[in-house]
Amino acid sequence: MVGGGVIQQILRRKLHSQSLATPVLSWFASKKVNEDAGSSGVRALALLGAGVTGLFSFSTVASADEAEHGLACPDYPWPHDGILSSYDHASIRRGHQVYQQVCASCHSMSLISYRDLVGVAYTEEEAKAMAAEIEVVDGPNDEGEMFTRPGKLSDRLPQPYANESAARFANGGAYPPDLSLITKARHNGQNYVFALLTGYRDPPAGISIREGLHYNPYFPGGAIAMPKMLNDEAVEYEDGVPATEAQMGKDVVSFLSWAAEPEMEERKLMGFKWIFLLSLALLQAAYYRRLKWSVLKSRKLVLDVVN
């Protein structure tokens, strides 16, 4: 009872300073004075007070989660955003070049085949030539042995490591994730990957990263195993576009977006077409329904008064 009164007093002071519903509080206070058995009102008020103090303390805890969630990445204006926008296919081609020369040494893309690139970023001859550069284990042959052969269009993009354990062993325990679906596998994936790749910065004062890790504010926790890979002029583009860090980031994210969602262009066309047609169908259906129901909706009932 005493505790309830103390909480009530604290709450009165808090609410008073915030100029909230003090009449409500005085009503509660009068209720307590009037009936001693009305402890349910005080209990409700105590719960409210506890909830409010809990809310205040939560705000200080939330700031410690900042580094845990990573810095929020901004929204960049991707050329393939927009209801009828296609991919920038020249960007996909450059992005594949960046992936091949910079990322493929550690990251696999085991869901993409060389034939997927035909008509998107390369011609069939170019894709065949690219596939032929890699060695693929095939077999068994007639003698029962596995053999290696040059790659074909139907082969998947080569994997840098035989399995996850080998990948972890070569990278200090960290597994470079497969990039086939990465822009769908991370929240706000396209913007996140671009921000991550171009966002390597010095850590804030007071934060020290252990040897072997690198600071990246966008990475949850802040300490990422991957070093900064995109540096100016790291790649020489075939089409002569200057390979700045931001350009390479943009191109590689375009490539990764396509890899994760190759059906995007067809999906947008289909969506636009069908949403338009179904809207017309909706109008027609609405009209037809109202037409059929008009008989009932416009009927009149006459009450016969019996004298």
**Contacting residues toward other proteins, per CB under 8 A:** 63, 66-67, 71-77, 195, 198, 201, 204-208, 217, 222, 232-233, 240, 242-247, 249
- Whether 146 has a binding-site annotation, put simply, is no
Coil, strand or helix at 137: strand
Q: Is 106 annotated as a binding residue?
A: yes
**109 annotated as ligand-binding:** no
CA atoms of 134 and 159, how far apart (whole Å): 11
Q: Select 5 or 204, whichever has its Cβ closest to other proteins.
A: 204
Least CB distance from residue 90 to other proteins, whole Å? 16
Decide whether 74 or 144 has the Cβ nearer to other proteins. 74
Provide, rounded to whole angstroms, the least separation between the CB of residue 176 and other proteins: 24
State the nearest-atom distance from the C-beta of 59 to other proteins, in Å: 12
> Closer CB to other proteins, residue 146 or residue 205?
205
What are the two backbone dihedrals, phi and then psi, of residue 147, each rounded to the nearest 5 degrees?
-135, 165
DSSP assignment of 218-249, as one string?
Answer: TSTTSEESSPP---TTSS--TT-----HHHHH
**109, 157 in Cβ contact below 8 A?**
yes
Write out the two tokens for 244: 């700045």
CA gap 260, 195 in Å, rounded: 18
Q: Which is nearer to other proteins, 68 or 133 (CB)?
A: 68
Structure tokens that stand for 279 in this block: 């809207």
Smallest distance from other proteins to CB 190, Å: 12
What is the DSSP secondary structure assignment for residue 20, as one 8-state letter? -
- In the bound state with other proteins, the residue whose beta carbon lies nearer, of 205 and 303, is 205
> What is the Cα–Cα distance from 95 to 62, expressed in whole angstroms?
38
Cβ-contact 87, 66 below 8 angstroms: no
State the nearest-atom distance from the C-beta of 76 to other proteins, in Å: 5
Alpha carbon 193 to chain centroid, angstroms: 10
Annotated binding site for heme c: 103, 106-107, 226
Residues placed in the known binding site: 103, 106-107, 226
